[in-house]
Amino acid sequence: MEPKHDSKWAKFHPMWDGFYTFLFTPGETTSRGSHIRDGIDLKRTMFMVVLALIPCLLFGIYNTGHWHYVATGEAGEYMDMFGDKLIYGLIQVLPIVIVSYAVGLGVEFIFCIKNQHAIQEGFLVSGMLIPLIIPADTPLWMVAFATVFAVVLGKEVFGGTGMNIVNIALTARAFLFFGYPTMMSGDKVWMSGISDLSRETLEANGVTGATQLGELASFTGPKADWIYPGGLEAFQAKWSIMDSFWGFIPGSIGETSVVAILIGAALLLYTGIASWRIMLSFVLGGFVVGILSNMGAINPYMELEPLNHLVIGGFAFGAVFMITDPVTASQTNTGKYIYGFLGGALSITVRVFNGAYPEGVMMAILFMNVMAPLIDHYVVSANIKRRTKRLKTKTA
C-alpha cells in the first residue's frame, strides 16, 4: 500500500503516512539508543483535547435542541421531549462538525502534499473547536469558508501546525463575526431555528432570543432600551447562576455548560496538556475586573457579581480550551501568569464597557495571542538582568 518514492503516487506519501500512523502503530522500532522523554506525541496530545471536548459537544447537542423547543413553545422543562431534543441537536450540530473537519483537513492535506511535509494533527482540535464556538444555525458554507480562511491565513502561511501566532479556531470565529455579523450576534441566531418566529411568539414562550450577554449589554444603554426594565434583579430572577453553571442557557454550541467544560478541564489538567497557571490567572483576571466594576458601578451591568461573569458566555470555554492553547500562549511561567491574567481582565472589560461587543472573550484572547511573544521577551530579559546583577554582586 505504501506509495514508494518512484511510483506515480509518491507525492501523496504524506497523506498515506498521516493515515497510517494515525490508525496503526508503526512496526519499526529504533535499534540504537532512543531519546524519548515522554510517550505522548502530537497525535495523543490532540486526541486527549478532542476527548476533553466531547462533554461540551454532547451537552451542546442537547442544548441546541432544548432551546429550539423552548422557543417554539413545545417543551419548556429540561427533560420534556428529551429524545426529540437530542435528534434535533444532532441534525443541527453534526453537519457543522463534519464540514469543519472535512474542509480543514482537506486544506491541510493539500498543503502537506504540496510542500511534502508529514501531516501533523493540529487540525484535529481546531476542527472540533470551530463548531463548538459558533451558533448552531450557522450555514454550512460559512463554516467551510471560515475554516479555509483560518487554516490558510491563520496557520499555513506561518508554516503549519505549531507555527501559528493566533488561535485558529478563534480566527475562524472572528472571520464569521466580522464577515456575517447578522449570523453571529443579535437575537435571531442563538436559539436554533427561530429566525421565522415573530418577537411576540418568542415573548409568549418566555424568551428574547438573545444570549444573557446580549440582554445584559442593553443595560449599558439608556433605561428605555433595557430588556429588563426591572434592572439586574429581573435579570437574575430569569437566569440563576446555577442555570448558567449547568449550561441551560442559549449560546454557541459548546460554550454554555460550565460543568461539561470542567470535566474537560480536569482531563486536560490531569494529563498536563493545558497549563493550570494560565487557566487560574485567566479566571482570576476576570474575577478582579468583575470586582472592580462592581465597586465603580454606574449601570446594572456593572453590578453583576464577578462569579456570575465567570459562568455566562464563553468565558469558561475560553479559559479552558482557548487561552491555554500551548502554541499561542506565553512560554515562560511568569509570562503565563501575566498572559492569563490580562486575557481574563480584558475579556470582562470588553464585555462590560463596550456595548457593541457583547462578548469580549474572543477579542481578548486573540489580542493576548499577539502579545504573548512580547510578554515572553520582557520576562526573559528581566531574568537575564536579574542574573547578571547577581553575578556582579557575587564577584564584587
Partner 1 sequence: MSNDKIKAPKEPLFSKKNKKLVTEPLDDNNPLTIQVLGICSALAITVSIEQALVMTGSVFFVLGAGNMIISLLRNLIPSRIRIIVQLVVVASLVIIVNEVLQAFLPDVAEKLSVFVGLIITNCIIMGRFEAFAMANKPWPSFLDAVGNTVGYGIVLVLVSLFREVFGAGKFFNVPIFGDRIEGTGLYSIGYMDNNFIILAPFALFAVGLIIWIQRARNKSLIEEH
Smallest gap from Cβ 160 to partner 1, in A, equals 15
CB of 153 to partner 1, least distance (A): 6
Instruction: Give 215 or 359: the residue with its C-beta nearer to partner 1.
Output: 359
Amino acid letter, residue 179: G
Tell me whether residue 63 or residue 171 sits nearer to partner 1 (CB atom): 171
Please return the burial class of 132, using the count of CB atoms within 10 Å of its CB with bins 0-12, 13-18 and 19+: buried
CA–CA gap between residue 234 and residue 243 (Å, rounded): 15
For the chain, the residue count is 396
Of 169 and 345, CB closest to partner 1 = 169
Residue nearer to partner 1 on the CB measure, 34 or 182 = 182
Of 139 and 272, CB closest to partner 1: 139
Nine cell digits for residue 79: 427533560
**Closer by beta carbon to partner 1, 24 or else 178:** 178
Residue numbers at the binding site for partner 1 (CB under 8 A)? 139, 141-142, 145, 153, 157, 175, 178-183
State the DSSP string of 183-240: HHSSSSSSSTT-TTS-HHHHHHTT--SS-HHHHHHGGGS-GGG-SSTTTHHHHHHHS-
* Least Å from the CB of residue 192 to partner 1: 15
Closest CA to 263 of 78, 57, 122, 64: 57
If DSSP codes are grouped into helix, strand and coil, which group holds residue 39? Answer: coil
Smallest separation, CB 27 to partner 1 (Å) = 38
Q: Residue 145 or 276: which CB sits closer to partner 1? A: 145
Separation between Cα atoms, residue 49 and residue 66, nearest integer Å: 26
3-state secondary structure of 297: coil
Nearest to 57, CA basis, from 309, 247, 276: 247
Radius of gyration in angstroms for the set of CA atoms belonging to the chain, rounded to a whole number: 23
**From the CB of 145, what's the least distance to partner 1, in Å?**
8
Q: How far is the CB of 189 from partner 1 (least distance, A)?
A: 12
The CB-of-243 to partner 1 minimum distance in angstroms stands at 33
* Single-letter amino acid, residue 58: L
Angstrom distance (rounded) from CA 274 to CA 88: 33
